[in-house]
Amino acid sequence: MGLLSSKALRYMAIGAGTSALGYMRDAREKGQKGLEELKLARDEVTEELTTLQKTYDKALQVGGNVGGGSFANFLFGTKGIEYLANLDDLSVETANNELSILKSQFDSLPENERAKFQDYTKVAKTKFETRADVLKEGLQKNNNMGRETTNFLSKMLFEPPKDVMQEREQIISGVTTPELATPEIVPSGAESLRTKNLYTLPNRSTYENIIYLDLYEKDPVSQAYELKKDEQTTNVVNNAQEEINNMKNRGFDADLNVVQYLAEQNFMADNPQYVPNWTFYQNDFKSNSNYANNFMEDFGQALADNDTAYAEDIIQLFSGSADLENQDKAKEMKIQLDNALKGIIDTETTTTTVEDTTADIPEGGLVQKGKVKTYGATDYISAEEKLKNSQTPVTEQFIQLVMQKNNTNRDNAIRILKDIGYTQFPEKQSVTSTVKGRIKGE
């Protein structure tokens, strides 16, 4: 067969040129459509940035309302931006009640721990700019118009024209991060929230006498006061002592007996502005406490067992603490866990996930049971899941996590677990109390 004629070659060239023009026209049309979509995305990102700015401005003003300074630094170091911003939407009375509790926790910290928190305005600025950058990066990543092509012919045929690409860059670069407002500092704002120690004599002795006479009765023979033997009194005393032991386990080291604890609770109920110094230890813990040490040991064992889920739960527990040393420990444990995970990947070790009762921590609250409301689980669970849970032993650590998540005591945590089918609970560990003057029968 002979060579192709010049006429045939001319037709092929015309056909190829027509195809190339078609590809380039398509690239322009797609580019123009992409620009329209990009403009819509730009408007959405701009709106989100504005909403984010308002949230941070409101949170910053809460810091200004409490006078700025170390207490505001504490708030931004321990609470989320959304939580603080929401305080600005509450009534003055409700917001002040929330802030009074936090102020009490702050006042209970040693001076050196209070000084560790960073300037709240700088913390807010850093967090805001980081979140804003994520929003803007998402705009660029989700609107790629030919950036991945590298071959010259491919760029010519398939990439949008230069003018379209230039407009694209103008749209993206036109989205800027707004500036946060400078909060107005309210002089003596924190001082107005300071908890006054109203629980002094004669109030203290009056409330303690009421509790004492509720729990004790005079023996007709010996004329000595002894703890009442009825079931209700026994339960009240045991529950109170369990709460005290739990707080001591978490690091509370002051003298406190059952009568004092119950009397102070009653006084607090009558005087909402009063916050006892032990309230911090009901839901938090010190880094040198038995509670912290037990979880640190569990973390080491979780790493050894490659139980990453439980290790992450423990890290979350420590990072959520208001105690700065606990937060530092959380960072250290995170590094240890990351290194352990890298080691697992490097050695290509296959780990078997061990089913653990800590996988899902249930939620609870007041629920209607018959004609009364009582504490229980609020999560729905199927009959099959309940049966499965009934065959799974519950660990003491899991009970503690349920208590932590639901901000409640051990008895309520067990009620939650029972509602979702758990039946195998550990025996309650007795804790030797160091309380002076313990009441007979405790």
My answer on whether 278 and 294 are in the same domain is no
My answer on whether 214 and 84 are in the same domain is no
Gap between the Cα atoms of 150 and 238, Å rounded: 75
Better-scored residue on pLDDT, 121 or 23: 121
| CA nearest to 102, candidates 115, 87, 116 | 87
pTM of the model: 0.39
Read off the amino acid at residue 278.
Answer: W
SS (H, E, C) 169-233: HHHHHCCCCCCCCCCCCCCCCCHHHCCCCCCCCCHHHHHHHHHHHHHEEECCCCCCEEECCCHHH
Read off the amino acid at residue 140.
Answer: Q
Residues 233-241 have a mean pLDDT of 93
The answer to whether residue 43 scores a pLDDT higher than 70 is yes
Q: Which of 173, 191, 212 is a domain's end point?
A: 173
My answer on whether 223 and 303 are in the same domain is no
Better-scored residue on pLDDT, 203 or 244: 244
Model confidence pLDDT, tens digit, residues 374-406: 778 887 777 778 888 888 888 888 888 888 888
CA 186, 188, 190, 195 dihedral sign is negative
Output the CA–CA distances (angstroms, integers) from residue 194 to 57, 81, 88, 307, in the order listed.
Answer: 25, 23, 19, 44
Residue 93 belongs to some domain of the structure: yes
In sequence order, what are the residues at sequence separation of 6 or more whose Cβ sits closer than 8 angstroms to the Cβ of residue 269? none
Least confident of 7-16, 108-117, 150-159: 150-159
My answer on whether 141 and 216 are in the same domain is no
My answer on whether 242 and 119 are in the same domain is no
Q: What is the pLDDT of residue 432?
A: 37
Q: What is the pLDDT of residue 262?
A: 93
Residue 179 belongs to some domain of the structure: no
| CA nearest to 329, candidates 283, 287, 285 | 287
| CA nearest to 81, candidates 62, 103, 59, 65 | 59
Phi, psi of 348 (to 5 degrees): 50, 45
By the 10 Å C-beta count (0-12 exposed, 13-18 middle, 19+ buried), 350 is classed as exposed
Residues 30-37 have a mean pLDDT of 61
Q: What is the pLDDT of residue 371?
A: 58
Model confidence pLDDT, tens digit, residues 119-133: 999 999 998 888 888
Q: What is the pLDDT of residue 170?
A: 67
What's the whole-number average pLDDT of the chain? 75
Most confident option among 80-89, 129-138, 158-167, 194-203? 80-89
The answer to whether residue 148 scores a pLDDT higher than 60 is no
By the 10 Å C-beta count (0-12 exposed, 13-18 middle, 19+ buried), 402 is classed as buried
Residue 401 belongs to some domain of the structure: no
Q: What is the pLDDT of residue 325?
A: 87
Confidence of residue 416 (pLDDT cuts 50, 70, 90): confident
Q: What is the pLDDT of residue 410?
A: 86
Q: Which of 246, 263, 283 is a domain's end point?
A: 283
Specify the 3-state DSSP secondary structure of 375: strand
My answer on whether 263 and 299 are in the same domain is no
Q: What is the DSSP string of 315-362?
A: HHHHHT-S-HHHHHHHHHHHHHHHHHHHHHHHTT---PPPP-TTSS--
My answer on whether 264 and 123 are in the same domain is no
Residue 110 belongs to some domain of the structure: yes
Token code pair at residue 1: 């067969």
Q: Give the rounded percent of residues in the chain with a pLDDT score beyond 70.
A: 70
The answer to whether residue 71 scores a pLDDT higher than 70 is yes
Model confidence pLDDT, tens digit, residues 256-306: 899 999 998 898 888 877 778 788 788 889 888 999 999 999 999 988 888
My answer on whether 109 and 233 are in the same domain is no
Residue 69 belongs to some domain of the structure: yes
My answer on whether 167 and 21 are in the same domain is yes
My answer on whether 58 and 133 are in the same domain is yes
By the 10 Å C-beta count (0-12 exposed, 13-18 middle, 19+ buried), 141 is classed as exposed
How many domains does the chain fold into?
A: 3
Residues 411-429 have a mean pLDDT of 83
Residue 213 belongs to some domain of the structure: yes
Q: Which of 242, 264, 283 is a domain's end point?
A: 283
Residue 387 belongs to some domain of the structure: no
SS (H, E, C) 224-276: CEEECCCHHHHHHHHHHHHHHHHHHHCCCCCCCCHHHHHHHHHHHHHCCCCCC
Residue 33 belongs to some domain of the structure: yes
My answer on whether 28 and 158 are in the same domain is yes
Tell me the residue range of the domain where 91 lies.
7-173
Q: What is the pLDDT of residue 259?
A: 92
Output the CA–CA distances (angstroms, integers) from residue 408 to 105, 246, 284, 319, in the order listed.
Answer: 18, 12, 12, 19
Q: What is the pLDDT of residue 162?
A: 62
Model confidence pLDDT, tens digit, residues 169-228: 666 666 778 888 888 877 655 555 544 456 766 777 888 899 999 999 988 888 888 999
Confidence of residue 439 (pLDDT cuts 50, 70, 90): very low
Output the CA–CA distances (angstroms, integers) from residue 391 to 76, 247, 296, in the order listed.
Answer: 43, 31, 28
Gap between the Cα atoms of 352 and 216, Å rounded: 56
The answer to whether residue 34 scores a pLDDT higher than 50 is yes
Specify the 3-state DSSP secondary structure of 381: coil
My answer on whether 30 and 85 are in the same domain is yes
Better-scored residue on pLDDT, 7 or 130: 130
Gap between the Cα atoms of 192 and 194, Å rounded: 6
